[in-house]
Structure 1
Amino acid sequence: MWALLLLWPLALGFSLESGTQIPSVYDEGGSTGEGDDGALGPWTKSQMVTPCPPRPRSFPSWFCANNSDTLELWDNSRVLLLGWVPTRLVPALYGLALVVGLPTNSLALWVLATRVPRLPSTVLLMNLAAADLLLALTLPPRIVYHLRGQRWPFGEAACRLDTTALYGHMYCSVLLLAAISLDRYLAVVHPLRSRALRGQRLATGLCAVAWLVAAILALPLGLQRQTFQLSRSDHVLCHDVLPMGTQASYWRPTFLCLAVFGCLLPLLAMLLCCGATLCSLATGGRRYAHALRLTALVLASALAFFMPSNVLLLLHYSDPSPEAWGNLYAAYVPSLALSTLNSCVDPFVYYYVSTEFRDKVREGLLCRMPGSTSSSREGGSPGTVVLCSSLV
């Protein structure tokens, strides 16, 4: 929960002196003559303030008069939407996840698929690497969007596809982490009784369920319009500003299901499995110290990266009254970017921490280098050549 405490000031500390939302006052055409940088003029007591309607807040908005393509936004929400957190911090986090996660997961997936025996645990780890790799591939459009000052240049279809893929692959990673924890629980706590159960069929079934559940949970994200023009600006927003009507009737149940079934329940299962595994390893004494630390690290990283965003999501949609929780979406945006960093941690926790796996990586890379032979790596005779596939 430390990350949640760090992100909280990002939502509330920039511009709000109280929890009350203050709407802008516009003419009939929705224009006040202000620039497109979102700068707002001072308020005077003589200005009329429109009462704030009840709503869940996902940077909620309402349509401008006679214009179904342009959305109006509360003044303080506009300041948070166009501030340095979404336009600088968020793309930096996404960029880190892309730069680290793309090569490490690609290399891990290649080694697991080509140089490691196809055990049940290998099947689970291959699917995790694939989900993290696909997650990294969804990030470049979002980085461009945030660096352009919240201007989406790719169109409505691309916005829906990218949003669906981002959430789908991220929650698939959570479900696969829970499946891996279950597999390791069976192997450590019930090694004899689970010998017949743990096999290719169980591993394949767990992976299929994870991908299917993630697809079902993310599918509603691609069925509603998500790009709108922000009033008084040239900002075309992707998913960040949505009409209040669809938020209450459509997005609220969608994201509540995502948070509960895609994250909180899998994390609970992971907590129970890892907890039982830790207790079993602790009884084995010092010889299991390394496995004990690694299991604790796996659990801690999953909770640290995924809990903040999903707790904020639940709070965000739990109470639609305007007084509740302030503008939590401003904290949810960086916490979502923080969640994608788990795809950088997974390769080092599950793959590269193993000396045997690192040896496989080195062997595979040397095998791909022009002019390299097994004799140069193994110290054999100069004329001996061994096929790469025989070095598993």
Structure 2
Amino acid sequence: MSWNSSKLDNATLSMLQNVNVSIAMSVIYVIVTFINIVGNGLSLWLLLFRTSPKTPSIIFMINLTFTDLAIGTALPFQIAYQLHGYHWVLGPNMCSVLTLVFYTNMYCSILTMMAISIDRYLGIVRPMLFRETRERKSIAVISCLLMWGLVLSVLYPLMTTDLTFAIPELRITTCFDVLKKDMLPNKMAWATFVFSMVFVLFLFPFCVTIFCYVSVIRKLARDSKNAQKARAIRLAFMVLLVFTLCFAPNNILLFAHTVLKLFHGKSLYMAYKLSLCCSCLNSCLDPFIYYFASKEFRQKLRQIMNLHSLSSADSMKMECKENLYSASEAVRG
């Protein structure tokens, strides 16, 4: 996002007129949309209808899957917008919805991953806490509602402002690529807004997540079998990969871009826009997190993937049993 003044900065104008970057990001969005809908559609079906009991981790995963599917359904609008030369034709309300979907997906995903890591920490490192299953389920549901409430409260300025901006010299109307300075009253308000996004919704959850997984791995290294320890390490690796590949670049560049823009008149807009594109990749990687985080999800997925081979194996076993039975009858005869 850039801020408008009497004249747009060169970085913003360059990005809006760069056809190659627009096409490259659109191609990434097309691939992400396809993988997102297929992977998260299957995940949601498994989590809702084929996985029980609904443990806290499963509840958090269902919440995460819904946010991922939301971004999957919103991306085609972003693709059309970019291929149309950054010209938004669907009005300010749809622009606000699209922007909210992008950012709620990112920050709800971050908070949900933190919640999954806390649940695993409590279950493995502190098993005596929250032992009652019903109590843990209620806490998980309330936690999901609190996540959405926190994210929407931080992003409230995006819901109350017209995020479209007309650029007569380019004959286009942008959506969230150029923000009005009067969206917030002063520089301090802008700094507080971005600080809340970067530090409250990203850095703090990131630190909590690292602490929980490091504690889990240390506990399992002392007490568990190699297979369980290996799964915990793979899960930690997948979560850290999502954070470092998808979330960290965008939030770091958002902070740097804001500081440079507000206090030095410079811009990192092109890099920030590309990092926003990369942040959507998390919706493709989340199903792998479900696979390593949930034993029930892992078992159901394996059943579906191996259904045909299992049927063949069962048939071979039946044939072997029949052959053995026939042989024993022949011996008796």
Which TM-score tier does this pair reach, normalised by the shorter chain? 0.7 to 0.9
Pick the structure with more helix per residue: 2
| Deviation, structure 1 residue 98 | 0.9
Instruction: Mark the runs of 5 or more structure 1 residues left unpaired by the alignment.
Output: 1-57, 64-71, 367-373, 382-392
| Deviation, structure 1 residue 295 | 2.1
Checking the alignment, whether the CA contact within 8 Å between 1:120 and 1:199 is kept in structure 2 is yes
Checking the alignment, whether the CA contact within 8 Å between 1:135 and 1:170 is kept in structure 2 is no
Aligned: 1:59 with 2:59: no
2:70 to 134, 139, 149: 134
Checking the alignment, whether the CA contact within 8 Å between 1:172 and 1:211 is kept in structure 2 is yes
Q: Partner of 1:62: helix, strand, or coil?
A: coil
Shift in CA distance, 135/377, structure 1 to aligned 2, threshold 3 Å: farther
Percent same amino acid at aligned positions? 29
2:220 corresponding residue in structure 1: 281
Instruction: Mark the runs of 5 or more structure 2 residues left unpaired by the alignment.
Output: 319-333
Aligned: 1:265 with 2:200: no
Checking the alignment, whether the CA contact within 8 Å between 2:157 and 2:184 is kept in structure 1 is no
- The separation in 2 between residues aligned to 1:177 and 1:190, in whole angstroms, is 18
- The separation in 2 between residues aligned to 1:60 and 1:220, in whole angstroms, is 14
| Deviation, structure 1 residue 252 | 4.4
Question: Matched residue pairs, number?
Answer: 306
Residues 180-195 of structure 1: pairs in structure 2 closer than 5 A: 180-195=116-131
Checking the alignment, whether the CA contact within 8 Å between 1:105 and 1:129 is kept in structure 2 is yes
Checking the alignment, whether the CA contact within 8 Å between 2:57 and 2:119 is kept in structure 1 is yes
1:358 corresponding residue in structure 2: 301
- The separation in 1 between residues aligned to 2:82 and 2:92, in whole angstroms, is 16
- The separation in 2 between residues aligned to 1:260 and 1:313, in whole angstroms, is 11
1:236 to 157, 173, 176: 173
- The separation in 2 between residues aligned to 1:216 and 1:377, in whole angstroms, is 54
Checking the alignment, whether the CA contact within 8 Å between 1:267 and 1:303 is kept in structure 2 is no
- The separation in 2 between residues aligned to 1:96 and 1:189, in whole angstroms, is 39
Aligned: 1:327 with 2:267: yes
Matched AA of 1:280: K
Matched AA of 1:322: H
- The separation in 2 between residues aligned to 1:207 and 1:246, in whole angstroms, is 29
With normalisation by structure 2, the TM-score equals 0.82
Residues 215-226 of structure 1: pairs in structure 2 closer than 5 A: 215-226=152-163
- The separation in 1 between residues aligned to 2:14 and 2:269, in whole angstroms, is 13
| Deviation, structure 1 residue 212 | 1.7
Checking the alignment, whether the CA contact within 8 Å between 1:301 and 1:342 is kept in structure 2 is yes
- The separation in 2 between residues aligned to 1:290 and 1:136, in whole angstroms, is 28
1:100 to 35, 58, 63: 35
CA-atom RMSD, angstroms? 2.8
Residues 19-98 of structure 1: pairs in structure 2 closer than 5 A: 58-63=1-6, 72-84=7-19, 86-98=21-33
